[in-house]
Amino acid sequence: DQQVKQNSPSLSVQEGRISILNCDYTNSMFDYFLWYKKYPAEGPTFLISISSIKDKNEDGRFTVFLNKSAKHLSLHIVPSQPGDSAVYFCAALVEGGGNKLTFGTGTQLKVEL
């Protein structure tokens, strides 16, 4: 039972364009959401997060949108750069629940020149 789903295994965009990565969740108890970025042979690194009391959080080129009624969140990267090529994981947790992350399966983003 996959509680956090990333239905696109891969995404390819051109440099300078917008990258949109999507994530859906089924557990209505989740109230905090994070995006992690992962390069090969490295551990995931934290990118950006959003609390369920917000619908948008922005940090430089990265913006996360949350639609609670649809149980959907998305990560926008504008403009996309070749260094953004990596696997992006969506993760969710219940605040106060021991910081236990439930991860999606990841989306491989390739930014082409």
Partner 1 sequence: NAGVTQTPKFQVLKTGQSMTLQCAQDMNHEYMSWYRQDPGMGLRLIHYSVGAGITDQGEVPNGYNVSRSTTEDFPLRLLSAAPSQTSVYFCASSQDGNQPQHFGDGTRLSIL
**CB of 53 or CB of 113, closer to partner 1:** 53
Alpha-carbon distance of 37 to 39, in angstroms, equals 7
The stretches of the chain forming alpha helices (DSSP H) are none
Say if strands 19-25 and 102-103 run parallel, antiparallel, or are unpaired. unpaired
- Least distance to partner 1 from the beta carbon of 113, Å? 28
Hey, CA dihedral for 80, 81, 87, 90, is it positive or negative?
Answer: negative
Q: Would you tell me which residues interact with partner 1 (CB under 8 A)? A: 4, 6, 34, 36, 41-46, 49, 89, 91, 95-106
- Least distance to partner 1 from the beta carbon of 106, Å? 6
**CB of 14 or CB of 45, closer to partner 1:** 45
